Structure 1
Amino acid sequence: MSIWSRIADALSALTSGEALSEVFDRLRTPPERSVAFAIAVIALGAKMAKADGQVTRDEVTAFREIFTIPQQDAANAARVFNLARQDVAGFEEYAKRIQRMFSDDKGTLTDLLEGLFHIAVADGEYHPNEDEFLLRVSEIFGLNGPCFRSLRARFVGDVAPDPYSVLGVEAGASMEEIRAAWRAAVRETHPDRMIARGVPEEAVKLAEKRLIAINKAWEEINMEAPQ
């Protein structure tokens, strides 16, 4: 059964009048967590679309870069998106329920936030409302601070990415600390580790761009270090 069929099953389990946000309280264990991950990206992406006031073709394309959606399953993805947009519950309620679900796994929450950044910048513009949205989501997820700055440095092209921010370390950190942060980041980016965290196989392609950015940051710092 494809992940989209499992999403359809999860949506059909909602009783009449229940909000989409209720689904996160029911998908707490593998393999359902991968279903929750996909629904979370779609739902928060829909809420974020309301933050900047529009859904562009680029943002839709960016979502399809994260998830491969067969034509026959497009309706299921669209249903999740529309349910989230129409739900009176605010994005903070969604984020809180998602945080409770993945409270034992900061890695998955980071993967989710990364997916939202990928969608936010897809149209070539990072709207101030999107920045506020993502910062608040990161705070609810418990990822504000170095993690948020690291993702923002990688995705937002207003300035050249700071390699220290990409690795989530201070500029004054020792080479030992920086090397440890780089190795940990590479380890957490391995596809097997991501799938084990509950990230659907369809979304693991996010790791490709992440690994390139991580290794580039390490190389830049390493080249500048005294030999």
Structure 2
Amino acid sequence: MSLWSRLAELLHCLPGPCALGTFVDGIVETVKSVFGGDPEMRRQVAFSVSMIALSAKMAKADGVVTADEVEAFRQLFVIPEGEAKNVARLYNIARQDVAGFEAYATKLAGLYERGAEIYEDIVDGLFHIAKADGAVHEKELAYLARVAALFGMTSAAFQRIEARHIVPEEGDPYLILGVDRAASDDEVKRHYRRIVSATHPDRLIARGVPPEFIAIATQKLAALNGAYDRIRRQRAFA
């Protein structure tokens, strides 16, 4: 059964008519119970639900949903024709829900282990959507920073993600890579190889990112490679 068919199953299993204000509680408990016996599918559904719900809340926080943001959303969600209504239903319920985004982020964080790498994947995806209209606006950046904090991410981890998405070719390459400027050439090389390995699509899929979302990894790798190349040229090492 496909991810999107399982998402439809999830929506069907939610208690009652998905009353506003209780939706996030219902969806978190339903993901845990319905997919408890299938850890891989549970991780994929949890990631998909998190992305859909938090991007819907980001659209509400920003006040405007542009055509570019909708297109960016669709780039992340390669949705079969017959499954679009399930994603749209979840997105619309989350956007209309009277519960604030902080309640959503806090509840959704309970689907993952504390400090899990998947948090960065989610924030990466949200940045991808936020910057689709050409800029990450002030309200969007504040939203993303708060979500990251509620996920338990450090400010340094959030700054690395921000640097990758906001004019990465002009940003501090050491910040983008997350490596100390005083690190030796060999330390920079080892760090670069380690984070590139962690960003490989197979690693993302293993921790719950569905294959449909590999655009996140592709963009992240491009930013990391660009930062490493700039450091390599500055230091003149092979």
- C-alpha distance in structure 1 between counterparts of 2:170 and 2:198, whole Å: 24
Q: Please, which moves more after superposition, 114-123 or 33-42?
A: 33-42
Q: Give distance in 1, aligned partners of 2:23 and 2:203.
A: 32
Question: Which segment is superposed worse, 26-35 or 207-216?
Answer: 26-35
**Consecutive unaligned residues in structure 1, runs of 5 or more:** none
Per mean C-alpha deviation after superposition, the further-off stretch among 173-182 and 78-87 is 173-182
Secondary structure of 1:55 counterpart? coil
Q: Secondary structure at the match of 1:114?
A: helix
Q: Distance in 2 between matches of 1:98 and 1:123?
A: 27
Q: Which residue of 1 aligns with 2:5?
A: 5
Contact 1:146 1:169 in 2 (8 A): no
1:170 aligns with 2:174: no
Partner of 1:23: 27
Aligned residues: 227
Partner amino acid, structure 1, of 2:187: E
Alignment partner, residue 233 of structure 2: 223
- Per the alignment, residue 162 of structure 2 pairs with 152
Q: Which amino acid aligns with 2:180?
A: E
Structure 1, 102-111 or 145-154: larger mean CA deviation: 102-111
2: distance between equivalents of 1:21 and 1:57? Answer: 30
- Say if 1:158 and 1:127 are closer, same or farther in 2 by CA, change over 3 A: farther
Contact 1:153 1:162 (8 Å CA) reproduced: yes
C-alpha displacement of 1:158 = 8.9
The more displaced of 4-13 and 163-172 is 163-172
CA-to-aligned-CA distance 1:149-174 (integer Å, 9 cap, x gap): 11111111398122111111232333
Matching of residue 117 in structure 1 with residue 127 in structure 2: yes
3-state secondary structure, aligned to 1:31: helix
Distance 2:180 2:123 in 1: 21
Aligned AA for 1:4?
W
Report if the CA contact (8 A) 2:3-2:41 is conserved. no
The one-letter amino acid paired with 2:193 is R
Whole-angstrom CA distance in 1 between matches of 2:184 and 2:30:
44
Runs of 4+ in 1 over 3 A off after TM superposition: none
Determine the structure 1 residue equivalent to 2:36: none
1:102 & 1:33 partners in 2: Cα distance? 8
Q: Which amino acid aligns with 2:182?
A: G
In structure 2, the residue matched to 1:211 is 221
Q: What does residue range 79-118 of structure 1 map to in structure 2 within 5 Å?
A: 79-104=89-114, 106-118=116-128
Q: Indicate conservation of the 8 Å contact 1:46/1:82, yes or no.
A: yes
- Secondary structure at the counterpart of residue 84 of structure 2: helix
Instruction: Work out the percentage of aligned pairs sharing the same amino acid.
Output: 44
Over the aligned positions, Cα root-mean-square deviation in angstroms equals 1.8
Q: Distance in 1 between matches of 2:58 and 2:181?
A: 32
> Superposition pairs for residues 123-138 of structure 1, below 5 Å?
123-138=133-148
Amino acid at match of 1:25: E
CA distance in structure 2 between the partners assigned to 1:97 and 1:222 by the alignment: 42
Q: CA deviation at 1:75?
A: 0.8
Q: How far is the alpha carbon of 1:135 from its aligned partner? A: 0.4
Between 103-112 and 190-199, the greater mean CA deviation after superposition = 103-112
Aligned to 1:14: 14
Greater mean alpha carbon deviation, residues 144-153 or residues 57-66: 144-153
1:197 aligns with 2:201: no
